[in-house]
Structure 1
Amino acid sequence: MSSRERSSALTALARAGFSELQSADAALTELTDLIGLPRDLVAGEASRAADPDGAAAALVRIARRDPDAVGAALHAAPRPLWLLLGASEGFADFYLRHPEELADLSARQAALPSAAQLRAELLAAVGADDEGFAASGDESAWVSLRVRYRRLLARIAAFDLGAGSATEVLPAVAAALADAAGAALEASLSVARTRISSGRAGPGLFPHEQVAATQLAVIGMGKAGARELNYVSDVDVIFVGGADDESLASIGESRVIDIATRLAVQTMHGISGIEIEPPLWEVDANLRPEGKQGALVRTLESHVSYYDRWAQSWEFQALLKARPLAGDLDLGAAYLAAVQPKVWTSAARENFVDSVQRMRERVTDHIPPGEVDYQLKLGPGGIRDIEFTVQLLQLVHGLSDAAVRRPGTLEALDELVAEGYIGRADAATFGQDYRVLRVLEHRLQLRALRRTHLMPADDDGRRVLARASGLAESGEAVWKLWESVKREVRDIHVRLFYRPLLSAVAALPSEERTLAPEHAHDRLAAIGFRNPAGALRHIGALTSGISRKVTIQRHLLPVMIRWFADGTDPDEGLLAFRRISERLGDTPWFLRVLRDSSGAAERLTRVLSSSRYIGELMEWIPESVAWLDSPESLRPRSAAALDEEARAIQTRHSSIDSAMRAVRALRRRELLRLALGCVIGTVTIDDLGPGLTDISQVTIQATLRAVQREVVPDDAQDLDFSVIAMGRFGGAELGFGSDADVMYVYEANGLDPQRAQELSLRLVAGLRTHSEDHRVPFDLDPDLRPEGRNGPLVRSLESYEAYYRRWSLSWEAQALLRARGVAGSVTLIQRFTSLADGLRYPAAVKQLDLREIRRIKARVENERLPQGQDPSRHLKLGPGGLSDVEWLVQLLQLEHGHAVAGLRTTSTLGALEAAREAGLVPDAAAERLTDAWRLASRLRSANTLLSGQTSDVLPTDRTKLDGIGRLLEYPPRSASLVEEDWLRTARRARRVFEQHFYG
């Protein structure tokens, strides 16, 4: 051969996928010499091999032993031979031991053998008769069995490797492998029967008729039971022994079990014992009752007794995939019928879900650290994550839904999707990833015909895996695919496997797992619904029909009903849920969030049954359900972010009406966010006041900008106008339902005074009109202005200066302590603040003014408390209430604000802390005042959240008190405790108030 021809030949080898070109060339040359076939024919299908170098080397080794067998196989069907030997060194070793078996591979069409064919061939290999006895009981029978099994395994592998898509044929291949394992066990059992039979009794031998009468059922567990077996996998089994009544009477149960045990031992040895032909796989009986310490074979009755009394949760999980695999199929069917009902009630055991979750974590924890990143099966994002997730969902929902009781992972996944327990997208990803992982596992095991689940650590191993699987074009690409699949699987596993809904479903009493109408009325009444008939109507409306939404709600509602029942007002909660569900229609994300999130469903039931205020808002803002999936979504948004959104709204809308509708919607949305945060616990009382203040301030700012564009003409742009927050609004201490106390100020800046006044009044009117919200009222209350309700609604800065200089009363200076500019001209706000500072922080306070403030406080207590109202229950004006704390702090601010800088703040608690630091109030007194102010503020907001109505009075109704207590994180049925806490806290605060305010 010339150098050019040789170079061309080597180039062809490189194109075919060979990497060791010189060695491959030599091997193919030797092979053609040995078998006498042209090189083109011999190597024509080499490019299809995952490892052409390995396949060529294997063919040479086999041909050296039997060139005729190799030549005939390559001539008849070269493709399956190159595919198989290129993917499996294990099969290369098999054909080296048995080159005559190549004839079967080349004579077969690329089709999977059926279960009946597998059984017939393997029984024929041992010469089994109609009674189930093999022709021989010596070691040669087992050798024959193992050789025939590998012949059949080669047919399955050739089909698998030659398929267009390995992931598509995976279920059929895995089922054929499980059928082959069952047939092998059946054949091995036939040999075992012959092996322990004798015409006379002796050690380990039993009369033929007794062996024939003994029944042994081999129950397949795990992947074998589910018909999703690997190429080389432990086959988990449980043995059940027995005999018919007549045989039991004549032989005795003890001897029957002895015979069955001997059969089981010999059957296992035939598969996995050391013989001339290597073992097939490990037969693992450790899933039997009591594990390794338990009897290898038990009667059906003994099994049932164990599962009734002693079995642990994981044992029922293992039984999920049980299937009669070999032996006496009638006994196997009886076993299955006896244990399956126990499997599907096991999830109702206490802490069942938690035990399954902990078991999965223990499996991961026991992986050697060096293997974690390579573990295809047991590692995070591996096969076990998918299998455990699917099994847990099956076991929990299979309590009441027989449709999901499927042994196979993929078929179970399909049913879980059909029944609405898993979203279509998650299931599709899970299913595809499972197929990919299983194909990788199959190719790894084919390589050496050894049980392994570790991804290759070397580049060459990954390259062969990529080519053998057809899933990637290079070793690097197959590793990237594996990493991507791991991330996807782990993400879905964590979301579904630790879904709180699972524990809740499992914990439901059996009578509450379905919504069947029988006795439903009484059950609803028993668990706390005051109007069971109404609740049944809502349930019927939510679960009637055949849509996917209805299907999912049918599964969700039994658990949600129980959660609603645990709330303050289950009837109101269920009604609100129905309204939200109807508003959202068939929106796909809604039920997906409730079903799949880490607690959104439970949070939703909690807020709806705790707060009418939230229920009414959520009905109009149903998309807020999605926030419950993310605690961050339930945190107050910053004032800057709110202002930016409000400005963006106004740029998108051309008319003031449409812009203000959007701004009102923004305010409602943020009020709901804060309300949800309060109930869920992501918003504290320290967050609430500023949060409500920010959204109120942003609403006023946006409204003022819009109104100014409408009202102020181009020739009056010099007019400055500002809104001054007063009271709790000025102090950033708003609660739910609080009015926004305000004053309005303008400065003409050369404009005609009368026109400036008229334009300012129009601005005020526009502000009040366009900020009105009939759903969540927003009252701009101007009653703290000079002269109160009798004074002008809006004044110029000069008018304020003149008034305060000549007519200001002590209460007006006191009101200014919480004045703070919130909207309009910044310059005007600064000037107004400077004016206010001179009044609210005077260098000296007249004793007459202090006496007047004390007199007004006493009059307020006497005159403004509602007639017939118990003063001790009034959170604002009652003894120890908000008014006591605020008036005392404001008195200290008036007296000492000029000298103590910390007192110059609009915040009540901020000023109180400054007074404590300055020694104006003892530490203990400040603590009692703070406790009272905080508790009153929390009770006030909780009362509004509960009822949806604003009230300053602590209810006397025990149910309402309990509801308020739950909102404040008291235990259930704490009405008396809530009441006692308030009365005690208020009494202590009142004593401090009287001592320091009047003293």
Structure 2
Amino acid sequence: MSFVNAESRMQTTAGRLARLGFADGAQAERLLDALGPEAVGDLDLLAALVGAAEPDLALTSLTRLTERDPSVLGAMRADPGLRARLIGVLGLSAALGDHLARHPEHWKLLEGETGVQRTLRQEMRAELLAAVGADPADAEPCAPGGDTEAMSALRAAYRGRLLHLAARDITGAASFSEVTSELSDLASAALEAGLAIARADIPESADVRLAVIGMGKCGARELNYISDVDVVFVAEPRDGVDETKALQAATRLAQGMMRACSTSTPEGSLWEVDAALRPEGKAGPLVRTLASHLTYYRRWAKTWEFQALLKARPVAGDLELGGEYVAAVNEMVWQAAARENFVEDVQAMRRRVEAHVRASEAERQIKLGPGGLRDIEFAVQLLQLVHGRSDGLLRRRATLPALAALSRGGYVGRDDTKALAEAYVFLRKVEHLLQLHRLRRTHIVPENVTDLRRIGRGLGMLIDPVGEFTTRWRRHAMEARRLHEKLFYRPLLQAVARLPEDEARLSPAAATARLSALGYADPDGALRHIAALTSGVSRRAAIQRTLLPVMLGWFADAPDPDAGLLGFRQISDKLGATPWYLRLLRDETAAAERLARLLGTSRYATGLLLHSPDAVAMLGSDGELVPRAKEAMAGEAGALVGRHAGDAEAAVAAVRGMRRRELLRIAISGLVGRIDIEEVGQALSELNDVTIQAALDAAITKVSLERRGDFPTRFAVIAMGRLGGYECSYGSDADVMFVHAPLEGAEEKAATDAAHAVANELRRLLARPTPDPPLHIDPDLRPEGRQGPLVRSLSSYAAYYRRWSSPWESQALLRARFSAGDPGLGAEFMDLVQPLRHPPEGIGEAAVREIRRLKARMEAERLPRGADPLLHTKLGRGGLSDVEWLAQLIQLRHAYDVPELRTTRTLEALRAAVGAGLLAATDEEVLAEAWRFASQIRDAIVLVRGRAGDSIPVDVRERMLISRALGYPPDGSEDFVEDYLRTTRRARVVTERVFYGAP
């Protein structure tokens, strides 16, 4: 019995630790026990560990440290600041934890006042020089030949300083700017120490003056934790020394310094010293004289080299010579913008950098990808270089001071400056957290939840670290990209855009004013697009010059003229050489006008069109804008699957390509008013049915081939939710359940395994990342939800519903219908659930109360945090769920007696309820209006944004775009919101009375 009680206590302690935040409670308990009884009872220590970014990592590293130096525990109890700093570092950086295990004495760097004091530049230099045996006064090593020992000592001392800085950073004792400048000074000190190591073995070093010029972030004093340190070397012979011999000595010194920092030792390495920014790059000499540098820059330097020199700063070696170098090149840097094609060259370089980012990493690349640090840095640098010729106040090396100077000078608006600065600091802090973990150079946001959680908690996000971090990161990246586009291209207007003849005489300023008057937010960008489309003497350019005056007006009539013109340029780039394309737009006015409206309204439709540009042809025919019959789509999909028999991925890729074209057809039909919201929902749902059936056929074929036999079971997909109700929106998942029935003679387990394999393959095929919109299969409405089996046999469903069915499942089954697979099995399933969803006696009052309770709970708990309940179209007051639950409650109570109520569609059920006298016609009118309006808004959000959303946006511009897509005038966004609030308020009154039974 005592053993059982002890085990129970152990499980309780481990469980408590797990609830406190440890991923492995049992392991945490063992490690705490290993620290000793005083540590086990130290609640302050436990609180610090729980508050760490990664508690398990912090505890593991602390245990390793105490094994080497047990006194650290007593010191932490006596010094809460030490405890916070040490645990903060250990919870974020496995690498610094490893360092402390090798050098346990370094925890004392975090004690007392010393732990929070900034380390001055000269102190770092002196400490690192002393570590390699050099006299800080002359930086000469005491003895040559000790490279490995000296380099290891340099690394240990460097990481001790890094530990001290990281602790201050993590606990907020050092600001972001202090951290980056101190990291840069630490790198400078390491370069100086590396130079001292090199001098020890090069007697000729006394014959030459060598200056190390920091470039990039090191030069700007905005370095991150782990980065290549970019440098340029400049040398001069001392009096009476031959220049050739001096440069040879300087080259050996430079090479020795680079090795001292980059070579791997028992203590690892520091970082790579990269001299590729020197004249001629890696093909040029490593070291040049000042005169040689200046000759190169005057004669042969490219634009990007002057951009790089903007950040040049002497960091090590002969600082006086370094100062002469920087003063000389600065004169050329600040005149570089006068070079021919300067701005275009800078823009092209940014595009090249972005093009070299791996596609698989682009969305997670916080440095080089869209919305990354380079977007901000390039925009700031270009504005500096263009305007800095006449405004010396802009001549700053670091990004944030330069951005502040641009704001003060009026070159960048205050709001834009604030947004860019916040994005920059956020992304840099994320970069620091990524690199601190392993002290590795990385800029890729991980996908692993544990890593994301550590980053989020490291940023102070404790409630929902993964979700909050991801949201803030995406928001900052999107804002950085938007402002990059706005600022980076602003100075590009250097020539008059080639407008049609009647506007060809306009000056750039007049052309910009004209486009501004039309409503273009970025007239400079519009002029660039126009110039690209109309330049040249080709027939294509001539037709564009004829088309554009009219189309510019149509774009201006659309919600987003700039997006319309951009999309038109992109489509034209893809189809411009196709003979029918421009001829269609020239000769078919309706087609050109529809295209302008489409591109200026819907990012979603534009994206579809860019991947299927030939679909422009359907704009020329009214008949082509009618959604196709389900049978016709099914025939085409079946043929595509048959054509790729044996290759499931290729088959479904072809079907998804067909689906992309049909999504575009439906989107155009809805936007131009050819079909209403109910017809949109039916068209999308039928398209999803066809897609699921095709993917199912491909999956069954693949599984059968893999199993080397016939498929041993019948299989059906049951549509649920909005798919079951023929009410899909553009952003809807496909809610389904999977059912199978083994064939006669088939083994039950083999049939079940095959059915599971098919269901999983079906989901994988439809969700694979491709340019086409995915169709996510959501099976969570199945019995037992996510905890239940993905696929059940028909008999298993029967047993479950017989014993365990609850009112919410009966309610969910109201929308159940056969979607794909074996029709006979689908019919059998529907017969099985018929008594549940349309019970002979209706549902009792207890079930009604339960449904009302569930609805109230959903309203209270499922509304996203921060969402305005008045503006949430799905869960908000008077929104979709109010209308749908009301209709479903009527169905559950009366559908057995009123066959017309046996429908999966919401509005059809409401109309049937009116016909049966169960709902007043005025109430049905109010509810239907709210349902249609909310559904239209959800679709409009996807069409405008290109992604799903349930709330009317807070952002004024987005709200305007959505209201325009719904047909409101340019100044009608407030009317749109008022109309929605009025409509849903009336619907909520009906819901309170009819659904909740309020008087």
Q: Which has the larger radius of gyration?
A: 1
